[in-house]
A and B are shown apart, each in its own frame.
Chain A
Amino acid sequence: DGGITQSPKYLFRKEGQNVTLSCEQNLNHDAMYWYRQDPGQGLRLIYYSQIVNDFQKGDIAEGYSVSREKKESFPLTVTSAQKNPTAFYLCASTISRTGTASDSPLHFGNGTRLTVT
């Protein structure tokens, strides 16, 4: 079955440590996204990538970094520069379409809940 896998489901880290969240998809999607969700809040875009070896900053990129070396993988590193990293992180992917008449929906992974103390 095709889908998006995020691992691990729960992650605990000490303050000052960098941590990398994994996101793998076997849907053959071109575009991949990282969102952050805080309790009772919406999804805020961290980074997104339309093709391999290319990515763009979203609305809250500070303190995060990404890479897109393979089509299937889009890991997110939460660096020690991120002031408040504890959150629920969601990875998503979609077929990259630029037309307006139709849309390819985002497929989300089950998320990683990161706690930094």
Chain B
Amino acid sequence: GQSLEQPSEVTAVEGAIVQINCTYQTSGFYGLSWYQQHDGGAPTFLSYNALDGLEETGRFSSFLSRSDSYGYLLLQELQMKDSASYFCAVKAAGNKLTFGGGTRVLVKP
């Protein structure tokens, strides 16, 4: 089966940088995704890493190390609207997508 670990909560101020770590255990690993979910809303896709290295998309970057079964999401220049829950998700064989427990990010003024 699959299991993912990420911190439950992170607090930071506007303009700061936050890194959300995700470690995973899985068989048949294809890639690691990140999703954002605001309270009461549906998750929305942020990024996907299939290969080792850093992927940058605007203020958000995602990193993957397949040998360490580890990835992280980096949120830069934090804004109040970034207050949300962030989930890492592992894609495995048969397109099975398993999510972590989520990290609640609280941005303070």
Residue pair B43, A103 in contact (C-beta under 8 Å): no
What sequence of 0s and 1s flags, for each residue 26-69 of chain A, a beta carbon within 8 Å of any chain B beta carbon? 00000101010000111111001010000010110000000000
Q: Please list 27 pairs of residues, one from A and one from B, whose beta carbons are closer than 8 Å in the complex, sorted by A's number.
A: A31-B95, A40-B104, A41-B101, A43-B99, A45-B96, A45-B98, A45-B99, A48-B95, A48-B96, A48-B97, A56-B94, A56-B96, A59-B1, A59-B98, A90-B42, A94-B95, A97-B95, A100-B50, A100-B51, A101-B51, A103-B91, A105-B33, A106-B43, A106-B45, A107-B45, A108-B44, A110-B42
Contacts of B48 in A (CB 8 A): 102-103, 105
A residues contacting B by CB (< 8 A) are 31, 33, 35, 40-45, 48, 50, 56, 58-59, 90, 94, 96-98, 100-103, 105-111
Q: Which of A35, A45, A56, A106 has the most CB of B within 10 A?
A: A106
Where chain B touches its partner, the secondary structure class is: strand
A44 nearest CB neighbor, chain B only: B99
Number of A-B contacts (CB under 8 A): 64
Answer yes or no: B71 CB below 8 A from chain A CBs.
no
Residue pair B95, A103 in contact (C-beta under 8 Å): no
Contacts of A97 in B (CB 8 A): 95
Residue pair A90, B95 in contact (C-beta under 8 Å): no
Residue pair B42, A43 in contact (C-beta under 8 Å): no
Q: Please give the distance in Å from B98's CB to the nearest CB on chain A.
A: 6
Contacts of B99 in A (CB 8 A): 35, 42-45
CA distance A50 to B95 in the complex (A): 8
Q: A98-B95, A100-B30, A103-B91 are in contact. Are A41 and B42 (CB under 8 A)?
A: no
Q: Which of A96, A102, A105, A108 has the most CB of B within 10 A?
A: A105
Q: Which of B51, B95, B104 has the most CB of A within 10 A?
A: B95
Contacts of A110 in B (CB 8 A): 41-42
Residue pair A43, B87 in contact (C-beta under 8 Å): yes
Residue pair B42, A33 in contact (C-beta under 8 Å): no
Contacts of A103 in B (CB 8 A): 31, 33, 48, 50, 91
Residue pair B101, A106 in contact (C-beta under 8 Å): no
